[in-house]
Structure 1
């Protein structure tokens, strides 16, 4: 057991005991051999919370396709190129599965290359806008610099809008997975306000 050595602290007389434990079957231990137990710090209670953690491998994380990716110019080119360049064989269902897997890998490769470039571009644009703003404090900007600043602001807004769309979609996915756990609280809060 990691963390604290004892799980119970008697308040009346300073006495430490190891009371809280897990009861496991041998089949559980055989199935999850890397399981560990940790006694977390006690805060308000006289017992430590005990955490049973398994480091099981649940496989790869699922592939998610975000709607904002489809609005990018390169996405259609990547998909059409991957779809037409795939060469496979076999039964129609396994051929389609292999083709979709190939398409998924091409999209992942595109995002692995495109996303860092997008972050770097956003940083560069923000630095450029900041430089224009500092320059505008000391003297008036000419028309060329003003139009470049305006184009930069539009590009920043577009990149941030797409990132916000991704966050909204992730939130909706989390909402669907986790469920509507706060509805009772929310309605109670609203009724109290009324």
Structure 2
């Protein structure tokens, strides 16, 4: 369905298009770059790959090992690998609370350690989030391509 909105400053009227939910199938599985720096990820890959002993032809064994690794990584990423804006905002809020406390009084030794660990975690989460955005933009560019390739 469609709905025409009122124009405000422009001589154009915005149009809202509503469609039924389209099922595009399962999302393709991609390994995110920031996972490679995670020790849990490395241990999981080693555990799944070495622990999966299968008899058979080399190519069949490889296919089955990759399939098992993919399912394990999907589960792991769902449980541990989610970096979102809420996590960044939550850490910033915690850091802000410590900054406010530091303005009112001198922080104790434990509070300083906690504040430094929050700063470190915020740094790591921000780098991971940046890596996700960079990787997603690269995927989008590869998918859509460069419209002016003849120019370059």
Verify same fold: TM over 0.5.
yes
User: Kindly tell me: are residues 143 and 54 of structure 1, through their superposed partners in 2, closer, same or farther at Cα, counting changes over 3 Å?
Assistant: closer
User: Kindly tell me: are residues 148 and 53 of structure 1, through their superposed partners in 2, closer, same or farther at Cα, counting changes over 3 Å?
Assistant: closer
Deviations 1:66-96 (A, max 9, x none): 1110011111100000001224344322221
The match for 2:71 is 105
For the residues of structure 2 that align with 1:66 and 1:133, how far apart are their CA atoms? 33
Unaligned runs of 5+ in 1: 4-38, 188-194
For the residues of structure 1 that align with 2:20 and 2:92, how far apart are their CA atoms? 43
The match for 1:166 is 132
Match of 2:40 among 61, 74, 78: 74
Greater relative contact order structure (CA < 8 Å, 6+ sep): 2
The match for 1:34 is none
For the residues of structure 2 that align with 1:158 and 1:75, how far apart are their CA atoms? 15
The match for 1:151 is 117
Structure with the larger strand share:
1
For the residues of structure 1 that align with 2:19 and 2:81, how far apart are their CA atoms? 37
Deviations 1:111-139 (A, max 9, x none): 111035x6686565434322212212221
Unaligned runs of 5+ in 2: none
